[in-house]
Chain A
Amino acid sequence: MENVLNNIVMSYREQVHHRMLVLAAIAGLTLIVGIYAITQGTYNLSPFQAIRALFGIAGERADVVIWNIRLPRIIASLVVGWGLSVSGLGIQSMLRNPLGSPSTLGISQGAAFGAAAAIVFAGAGIVSITFFAFMGAMGATMIILLLAHLKRLSPEAIILSGVALSALFGSATILIQYMATDIQLASVVFWTFGDTARSSWREIILLTIVVILTSIFFMMQRWDMNALDSGEDVARGLGVNVERLRLQGMAAAALIAALATAFHGVIAFVGLIAPHMARRIVGVDHSLLIPFSSVLGALLLLSADTAGRVLVGSGALPVGVLTSFLGGPMFLYLLVRGYR
């Protein structure tokens, strides 16, 4: 019986190989959704025209629509989805808390508050908004880290602190809105719901670079993250500097959340859902979990954004609304199921 079992059980390396194929399939699906998304909108294009336009050979009008309107939005959805997902996964690992994500811990809300403060008090330059958003995100992160470290709070209590922080930053943002001029107000309100259609190529490229670097950082820490998942003492016994890992990991996660929020507003729950979807497929080994979360996050946000555009038609529905509709029930489901 045991021998039969041994033959059935795939070797670990075969299994990894098999999962890489699954990863490639998900990436392929993402590409298909991307091409579909290019064809959809008020200016109709066939998939063939869309691909020609990607290379700038579909006629001036189609090229402009693709390169200036649709492609930025699509690439932004992909990168933000990827980034928030990696950020959420990082937070979940560092805090050993499956309910963690930029939005459930108030980190995104902290970033939105920072962005609002920058618009009203420091002028709406991209550098100042980004900087203030990052400070807001880091502020929230530090509070969470301190509570997690000093008070050894349970996962549920950490999430409750996140709720408190979100409420705090939310009301502070409203206070700033109260003091803002009409133009500033419109600009600030923009940040309270997430949208992938507002960034230029410059911002997209900056975010892409940061997301790639951060993903590489997390990939380099993948065994340390596995060790931490098995307990702090285990991690230390395996030579992991837990305090340093946690600080660096949370800062990296907060950096992505800050940039994504500074450019696109609060897009909730993607960072929570995508890592859990990935766990369902590949288990908890971070060598696979990080790439799977990345691709699933990108696919998820692009699908949500495209669905919003196609269903509502005008193309004006912010994707943040849709992810919240998806994410809220998912969050409750995780709580009820005991988030294992």
Chain B
Amino acid sequence: MLTVSGVHFSYNSHPALTDIHFSLEPGRILGILGVNGAGKSTLLKCLNRILRPQLGAVLLEKSNILEMNQRDVARRMGYVPQRHTDTRLTVYEAVLLGRRPHMGWTVRPKDYQVVETLLAEMALTHLSHRPVCDLSGGEVQQVMIARALAQSPRVLLLDEPTSNLDIKHQLEVMKTIRRVVREQRLSAIVSIHDLNLAVRFADAFLFIKDHCVHALHTKDTLDAGVISNVYGVEVSLVKAGDHLLVAPH
């Protein structure tokens, strides 16, 4: 169980987040929604202490993430940033890098084993020795998720994992996330712009507006009003087969 309470963060006295609170159970995906600049990326970075919130607590089970050292945080929280730097590390090396929080002086056989299992599971083995910067956008995203999973985390933080991908790869990436979250009973927090993807894959939705939590909904309680309110665009929720669709007017 991940419980976030009273998280407050400001950049040089400009408040970016105030009193953020929510909780998330294992095996579930929380979508963070809000307009550009609402503070979605900032929130993710506050959760694993890339940024240090001035106030608040992030409790994983009973321990406060914000009071741990950075290595201990990295053992519990895998992070996939929004923009990837072009690295010439090979796919294998990039995923092995995810073992860094668990490594001592040497790489242990277990580290290799974790990496090789992950590469096989995510169908990346054939790309093992290719530099990451030579891959396609969808492949890079899979590698980044594999690296975050190599951290053996309890919580997965993903910042816009589907931006810059075509619809096929968007679906593949979201399905991968859903599969590992269910199988390994992780808690995943995903900031996402595409409302239809969010509605389809997330179990709960945290709407951020004006640096605060505007609303927290589950799939059942979600309504068109809150989306219209947060984005300032009139929308309807339409049922299409088994899925909900968000249709702007």
Please report A residues at the B interface, Cβ cutoff 8 Å: 2, 5-6, 9-10, 12-13, 15, 220, 223-224, 226-227, 229-231, 233-234, 236-241, 279, 283-285, 340
Min CB distance B51 to A, Å, is 9
The answer to whether A230 and B97 touch across the interface, beta carbons within 8 angstroms, is yes
Min CB distance B8 to A, Å, is 20
The answer to whether B74 and A239 touch across the interface, beta carbons within 8 angstroms, is yes
Q: What are 18 A-B pairs with beta-carbon distances under 8 A?
A: A10-B129, A12-B92, A12-B112, A12-B115, A226-B93, A230-B94, A230-B97, A231-B87, A234-B85, A238-B151, A239-B71, A239-B73, A239-B100, A239-B101, A279-B88, A283-B89, A283-B131, A285-B93
Asked if A224 meets B100 with Cβ closer than 8 Å, knowing A6-B125, A229-B89, the reply is yes
- Docked CA distance A220–B104 (Å): 9
The answer to whether B89 and A285 touch across the interface, beta carbons within 8 angstroms, is yes
The answer to whether B100 and A237 touch across the interface, beta carbons within 8 angstroms, is no
Smallest CB-CB separation from A5: which chain B residue?
B126
The answer to whether B103 and A223 touch across the interface, beta carbons within 8 angstroms, is yes
Q: How many A-B residue pairs have CB under 8 A?
A: 95
Min CB distance A215 to B, Å, is 14
Q: Which residues from chain B contact A220 at a C-beta distance below 8 Å?
A: 105
B84 within 8 A of A: yes
Number of interface residues of B (CB under 8 A): 42
Asked if A223 meets B74 with Cβ closer than 8 Å, knowing A9-B128, A229-B89, A340-B88, the reply is no
Consensus secondary structure, chain A interface: helix
Q: Which residues from chain B contact A279 at a C-beta distance below 8 Å?
A: 88
Asked if A223 meets B126 with Cβ closer than 8 Å, knowing A233-B81, A239-B75, the reply is no
The answer to whether A227 and B97 touch across the interface, beta carbons within 8 angstroms, is yes
| Interface-central residue, A9, A230, A236, A340, by most chain B CB under 10 Å | A230
B201 within 8 A of A: no
- Docked CA distance A2–B120 (Å): 12
Asked if A237 meets B85 with Cβ closer than 8 Å, knowing A227-B97, A227-B100, the reply is no
- Docked CA distance A230–B140 (Å): 12
Indicate which residue in B70, B90, B93, B148 contacts A241 across the interface (CB closer than 8 Å): B70
The answer to whether B112 and A231 touch across the interface, beta carbons within 8 angstroms, is no
- Docked CA distance A96–B105 (Å): 23
Question: Given A237-B50, A283-B93, 10 more contacts at CB 8 Å?
Answer: A12-B112, A230-B97, A231-B81, A231-B87, A233-B45, A233-B79, A238-B79, A239-B69, A239-B70, A284-B93
The answer to whether A231 and B85 touch across the interface, beta carbons within 8 angstroms, is yes
- Docked CA distance A55–B88 (Å): 45
The answer to whether B90 and A283 touch across the interface, beta carbons within 8 angstroms, is yes
Please report B residues at the A interface, Cβ cutoff 8 Å: 45, 48-50, 69-75, 77-79, 81, 83-85, 87-90, 92-94, 96-98, 100-101, 103, 105, 112, 115, 125-126, 128-129, 131, 148, 151, 157
The answer to whether A238 and B126 touch across the interface, beta carbons within 8 angstroms, is no
Min CB distance B116 to A, Å, is 8
- Docked CA distance A20–B78 (Å): 32
Indicate which residue in A230, A238, A285, A340 contacts B85 across the interface (CB closer than 8 Å): A230
Q: Which residues from chain A contact B93 at a C-beta distance below 8 Å?
A: 12, 226, 283-285
Min CB distance B22 to A, Å, is 20
Q: Which residues from chain B contact A226 at a C-beta distance below 8 Å?
A: 89, 93, 97, 100
The answer to whether B70 and A284 touch across the interface, beta carbons within 8 angstroms, is no
Asked if A233 meets B50 with Cβ closer than 8 Å, knowing A226-B89, A340-B88, the reply is yes
The answer to whether B50 and A236 touch across the interface, beta carbons within 8 angstroms, is yes
- Docked CA distance A321–B139 (Å): 47
Q: Which residues from chain A contact B50 at a C-beta distance below 8 Å?
A: 233, 236-237
Min CB distance B69 to A, Å, is 8
User: Top 4 closest A-B pairs, CB basis?
Assistant: A239-B74, A237-B79, A239-B71, A231-B85
- Docked CA distance A231–B94 (Å): 12
Q: Which residues from chain B contact A240 at a C-beta distance below 8 Å?
A: 70, 100
Smallest CB-CB separation from B144: which chain A residue?
A234
Q: Which residues from chain B contact A284 at a C-beta distance below 8 Å?
A: 87-89, 93
Smallest CB-CB separation from B41: which chain A residue?
A233
Q: Which residues from chain A contact B105 at a C-beta distance below 8 Å?
A: 220
Min CB distance B183 to A, Å, is 22
- Docked CA distance A41–B87 (Å): 46
Smallest CB-CB separation from B92: which chain A residue?
A12
Smallest CB-CB separation from B89: which chain A residue?
A284
